[in-house]
Chain A
Amino acid sequence: MANGHGGLMAMYDKLHFPSPPANDAAEALRTQVRDFLAVTISGRTPLQRAESWNGFDRDFSRALGARGWLGMTWPRRYGGHERSTHERYVVVEETLAAGAPVSAHWIADRQSGPTLLKFGTEAQREAILPRIARGDCVFCIGMSEPDAGSDLAAVRTRAEPVDGGWRVTGTKLWTTNAHEADYMILFCRTSGSAADRHKGTSQLLVDMKATEGMTVRPILDLAGQHHFNEVHFEAAFIPSAALIGVEGEGWSQVMSELAFERSGPERFLSSMQLLLELVGALQGSDSELAQAAIGRLTAHLLALRRLSRGVATMLAAGQDASTQAAIVKDLGASFEQELPEIARSLVDAEPDRRSTQDLLAVLGYTLMSAPSFSLRGGTREILRGIIARGLGLR
């Protein structure tokens, strides 16, 4: 109701997100995606589905690519399919809601590919984008460091210019899928010092399979699972052709990349399996407690989906949605962290990842994942700072 009528929209501020347009093509696609998933991942248990975007399966990513559902919005000449943002949104939310193993293409399709498309050289685009669109290229994100978490501008990893390229020294941390990845987009300092903050940083495309002087060490999370890593560079040589975009402009490129990272439906759908198991367990219940809980969670989910589709609509129109994306991610994380607490209050049994009862297994898994929801991709504190800035307080 807001966006279709410009005069009224002018009075409303950035808290009134635009309406997603009705899109018949996207809804037709939704049926195809559901049919595909019903067959392709029929063997996955609820616990496996609960892994959500941590589920790694190259074959699944290739199957998705073969259907033309990766790199969907990119130009055909780079292996893309020139479909709409809303069609891509449908594929993303359907795969997440079904608990498909999306980890092998997730980062590449969401942010690395778009970053290369926007800032990469022609050679980089031609070499890499078609592989991502085929579901054949795994990316990891080289941003966080031991002393640069929320304070990303404090990066110390340094690329010294040498003949024909760079010598990189430093350590990246919390690097999801570094042990599987084909490439990393490395955010590092190429000139000046840490005191220069945003100036003098750049992004480099690192070949994870053929870079000497680089070591990957696993870091297990509190559930004992291996998703993230420490990646150490010891005078590793990176060729000059690996520079993405403009030397020294890394900060603005990274901010653009984070807008892709923060806006999607994964920010409130990663615990969807727990909600579905809970709905299944409470099915037909005449308990007012159960009805109130499911009603509240459903109302939150509907509002979050509407907000998230509003952000997608803004991005499709080329608008800056950084404040709105931060709102979706902050609300989404709170929703997902409340979910296991609410489930606990309705189920009189202990959570156990090894339980034969799906609900208890999924509850155990989700409880142990929940702390990360308000850490990954920008902490709650960082997001609220971004929102406050959007309101003009900073």
Chain B
Amino acid sequence: MDDTDGLLARTTERLLAEQVDDAAMRAAASGLWLEQAWSAAAELGLPLAMVEGEQGFGVALSDGFALIRLLGSRAIPLPLAETMIANLLLARAGLPVAEGVVALIPAAAGVRLDRQGEGWRARGVADRIAWGRNAAALVVEGDGRIALLTSGFEVSAAGTNLAQMPRDQLTIDGAAQVASWPGLTLLEAGALVRAVAAAGAMETLVQLCTTHVVERTQFGRALSGFQVVQHALARLASEAAAAAAAADLAVDAFVASAADAGLAIAAARSRVGEAVGVATGIAHQLHGAMGFTEEHRLHWFTTALWSWRDEFGSAGWWTRHLGAAMLARPKAAYWPTVTAV
């Protein structure tokens, strides 16, 4: 299904506006699970939106990532993006899609997949898993395989990221359905989701700042009338544009199953990570002290960005990863690689 008329996007936006208002954002930050909002999103079909065939809704992948960007632009405190991508990968691996919240566990978490009789068992401890406490299922990667668990895991330590979104330690020891997995790693898939969401949140920073400097008056005129403010906002906007472009590049590579999709994702995470530092700094400077309060909405976006840029691999790690890959190729291959990504 092509969302060419934007119907799904508009419906999702309306749903999010109704279900995740400012009160809900504050409730989520205090540790509450937004059950009503999750149920409404599930009823709309978002968790299965990107799954092709009879199991899902088969929304074009590019439209699916546009939804993830939309979720990011509102810093929605629900594991919708993770669940959308997890179900897509499950379906691609030929495994059944999952009911409810699905958590992604990349190979780097060190969870082992071992044969047990006719089947498989997953064992290990995975740290900082998004909404681990709410997960009904896990997608675990290891040794070139991907596994689905629907039981046999529990929260052994609760935690959050800087935006108060749950990041829990899970202790895993359960039977798993396993398939071989030649595709992008879960780390890459998760990293891509964060890059796209961050691009959306940075667009919101531009909107918040633009509104603020036009409305706020000091020294008898709007802040937007000061050239130094105009130039700061121009720089923020340019960083947001660069982040969006880098994320789009990675999405296109993912959608096309390009050979260099991993490089495109690494580049996106590196560029987005750098943009986050500049953009959040400018956004807070422009908002002054009022933007530094819990009451103001700005921190929902800046705190999420400060966490997202280093989840599923830190920006620094992705940057070195990209650099090492480029330096492993001959000098003559540098430019051809740039044009091929």
Contacts and interface: CB of A to CB of B under 8 A. Distances in A.
A303 B246 contact: yes
A1 B66 contact: yes
A6 B62 contact: no
A391 B66 contact: no
Interface stretch (B107-115, B144-152, B318-326): B318-326
Interface stretch (A190-198, A314-322, A382-390): A382-390
B36 interface: no
A280 B331 CA distance: 5
Contacts of A388: 230-231, 233-234
Contact of B9 (A11, A30, A306, A394): A11
B324 A295 contact: yes
A295 B319 contact: yes
Interface in B217-242: 224, 227, 229-231, 233-235, 237-238, 240-242
B213 interface: yes
Nearest to A272: B335
A391 B327 contact: no
A213 interface: no
Contact of B248 (A19, A385, A392): A19
Nearest to B325: A295
Nearest to A387: B234
Interface residues of A, number: 62
Given A13-B203, A15-B237, A292 B338 contact: no
B237 A305 contact: no
A283 interface: yes
Nearest to B328: A284
A97 interface: yes
B125 interface: no
A384 to B, nearest CB: 4
A301 B234 CA distance: 20
Interface string A110-152: 0000000000000000000000000000000000000000000
A302 B3 contact: no
Nearest to A307: B245
Interface residues of B, number: 68
A88 interface: no
A4 B62 contact: yes
A301 B248 contact: no
B252 interface: yes
Contact of A7 (B7, B203, B237, B246): B7
Q: Tell which of A302, A304, A394 has the most Cβ of chain B within 10 Å.
A: A302
A296 B274 contact: yes
Nearest to A18: B248
A223 to B, nearest CB: 26
Contact of B326 (A11, A294, A305): A294
Interface stretch (B16-24, B85-93, B160-168, B263-271): B263-271
Interface in A338-359: none
Contacts of A299: 246, 266-268, 270-271, 274, 319, 322
B334 A276 contact: yes
A17 B241 contact: yes
Given A15-B240, A302-B267, A393-B213, A97 B335 contact: yes
A217 interface: no
A302 B323 contact: no
A12 B335 CA distance: 31
A303 B241 CA distance: 9
Contact of B6 (A7, A272, A291, A300): A7
Nearest to A90: B339
A34 B59 CA distance: 39
Contacts of B331: 276, 279-280, 283
A384 B226 CA distance: 13
B92 to A, nearest CB: 19
Contact of B252 (A1, A5, A276, A381): A1
A310 B203 contact: no
A12 B203 contact: yes
Contacts of B66: 1-2, 5, 8
Contacts of B267: 298-299, 302-303
Given A276-B334, A298-B267, A391-B234, A307 B210 contact: no
A327 B271 contact: no
Interface in A262-297: 272, 275-276, 279-280, 282-286, 288, 290-296
A275 B227 CA distance: 34
A292 B317 CA distance: 8
A302 B249 contact: yes
A280 B326 CA distance: 10
Q: Tell which of A5, A12, A381 has the most Cβ of chain B within 10 Å.
A: A5
Contacts of A51: none
Interface of B: 2-7, 9-10, 13, 60, 62-63, 65-66, 70, 203, 206-207, 210, 213-214, 224, 227, 229-231, 233-235, 237-238, 240-246, 248-249, 251-252, 255, 264, 266-268, 270-271, 274, 316, 318-324, 326-328, 330-331, 334-335, 338-339, 341
8 contacts: A12-B203, A283-B327, A292-B320, A295-B318, A295-B326, A298-B338, A299-B271, A327-B237
Given A16-B203, A292-B316, 17 more contacts: A8-B3, A12-B203, A13-B207, A15-B206, A19-B252, A276-B334, A279-B334, A284-B328, A291-B319, A292-B323, A298-B338, A299-B267, A303-B243, A304-B242, A305-B339, A387-B238, A393-B230
Interface of A: 1-2, 4-8, 10-13, 15-17, 19, 30, 93, 97, 272, 275-276, 279-280, 282-286, 288, 290-296, 298-307, 310, 324, 327, 330-331, 381, 383-385, 387-388, 390-394
